[in-house]
Structure 1
Amino acid sequence: MTDIERKASQERRPVLYSSYDSDTSWRVRIALYWKNVEHDTIYIDMAAGEHLSEAYSKLNPFQKLPCFITKSGKVLTQSLAIIEYLERAYPDLVHGLRYCVRHPTPPSFEQRLDTLSGLHCVADQISVADFCLVPMVYAAKRHKVDMKPYPNITRIRNTLMTLPEFRNTHPYNQPDCPPDAKGIVQ
């Protein structure tokens, strides 16, 4: 039995399959930290093709990250579905996550933030949009997108990054992040 199969067969705690450089995994890491859900994490080396392995494909036929195994063994493979599950399964942990913008495009999202935002994407309460925004900005910067035209997005991202839930789940703070990858994107 491989490490991947062994961890998946355990039902004591939920298991997140993640990679430091998976933006969608980061969303889930933030939500898990925000909700203070005890879980195990299996780090998948995407560069080495671990997500394409037979063992991982048995868990997630889509061969993508994240993958989340609930306490009961249910497999969830989409970040927003995982976040929604966490809200339903752990409603009393910390406080609820409010849903709003699901898949914004930066220009329209920036305009929407002119009227909706406060400290965060939706006024002053953390929402799923915030969980998506920070990894989205990281990905944009990684792909050399100029963020100057998006002052609201940049301001909110900077505010969110002061919170431990966002800071501690940052790709550079993950155990599987290679030392030479740290600091490439600010």
Structure 2
Amino acid sequence: MTNPVFELYGFWRSSATYRVRVALALKGLAAKEIQVNLEDGEQFAPAFLAINPQGTLPALVQPDHPPLTQSMAIMEYLEEQFPLPPLLPAGAHARARVRALAASMASDTHPLIVPRVRKYLTGPGGLDATAWRAWQTTWFTRGLQSMENRLYADAATGAFCHGDHPTMADICLMSVVAVAKVFKIEVADIPTLDRIIARCNDMEPFARAEPALQPGSPREI
């Protein structure tokens, strides 16, 4: 059976789009990526709101199916429909561990630094550029150092966040790391993460998903 060719609505810098981009690539699935410029407000254009009324990215469209939204739900869908190679380990406890690690990045860290938060904090919230930079640095640092503390002494940690194969936890970790790199924010004292990040960077699906390589990314990054 031929795998479908998806349409992926995303933005070059979007951490959530990065997650789906990597998940598709790890599973050997093709997607035509359609850029929706978050900085220009294209996510609120009627044409995109018809795809995702929430006005957020990503959205994944499969022929003859309604659009799918929310990166974590999309990855779970891909895991169910295209189970090999798996993005979740065997066993209920192991799967819960991976989901928890993934959520610590995708649900606890990433939402604090998205464009709509920046626009509010630097508008009605009254933060200047220096204060916004401090906000970003604080939450990137706390999120990644918390992940380090969870992984470094855990026997379930292997070459990757869980065992010796990449899972959703690694995808979500790298989605935050990729955006921190765009903003030139470095986090110290995360040796376990640094080792896992280096391993992921050596894999083509992660390397190809880098924001700097996507259409629309500015040359200076």
Displacement after TM superposition at 1:103 (Å): 1.8
Q: TM-score, normalised by structure 2?
A: 0.70
Amino acid at match of 2:188: K
Indicate conservation of the 8 Å contact 1:147/1:154, yes or no: no
2:175 aligned with 1:135:
yes
Match of 1:45 in 2: 37
What secondary structure does 2:209 align onto? coil
Is 1:178 equivalent to 2:218 in the alignment? yes
Q: Residue 103 of structure 1 corresponds to which residue in structure 2?
A: 103
What percentage of aligned pairs have identical amino acids? Answer: 32
- Give, as a single letter, the amino acid of the residue that structure 2 aligns with 1:60: N
Alignment of 1:12-161 (within 5 A): 13-91=5-83, 94-98=84-88, 99=95, 100=98, 101-104=101-104, 105-114=143-152, 115=154, 116-143=156-183, 145-161=185-201
Q: CA deviation at 1:145?
A: 4.3
Residue 130 of structure 2: aligned partner: none
Q: Greater CA deviation, 97-106 or 63-72? A: 97-106
Equivalent residue letter for 1:53 = A
Alpha-carbon RMSD across the aligned residues, in angstroms, is: 1.8
Whether the aligned pair in 1 keeps the contact of 2:102 and 2:170 (CA below 8 Å) is no
The letter for the 2-side match of 1:139 is: V
Aligned length: 168
CA distance in 2, matches of 1:39, 1:16: 6
Structure 1-normalised TM-score? 0.82
Letter in 2 for 1:113: L
Matching residue's letter, 1:140:
A
For residue 72 of structure 1, report the CA deviation from its aligned partner.
2.5
The structure with the largest helix share of the pair is 2
1:86 counterpart letter in structure 2: L
How far does the alpha carbon of each residue in 1:112-137 deviate from its partner, in whole angstroms, 9 at most, with x for none? 21113221111211110011111111
- Superposed CA deviations along residues 8-45 of structure 1, whole A, max 9, x for unmatched, are xxxx7321101110011000000011111122221112
Q: What is the distance in 2 between the residues matched to 1:139 and 1:174?
A: 13
Q: Tell me by how many angstroms 1:61 deviates.
A: 1.1
Give the Cα separation in 2 of the matches to 1:89 and 1:170: 25
Q: Is the 8 A contact 1:18 1:41 kept in 2?
A: yes
Cα separation, 1, equivalents of 2:199 and 2:65: 36
User: Compared with structure 1, are the counterparts of its residues 31 and 43 closer, same or farther at alpha carbon in structure 2 (3 Å cutoff)?
Assistant: same
Unmatched runs of 5 consecutive residues or more in structure 2: 89-94, 105-142
TM superposition shift of 1:141: 4.0
Report the 3-state secondary structure (helix = DSSP H, G, I; strand = E; otherwise coil) of the residue aligned with 1:157. helix
Distance 1:87 1:72 in 2: 19
Mapped partners of 2:39, 2:146: distance in 1: 33
Equivalent residue of 1:179, what SS?
coil
1:6 aligns to what?
none
Structure 2 equivalent of residue 4 of structure 1: none
Structure 1's unaligned 5+ residue stretches are 1-11
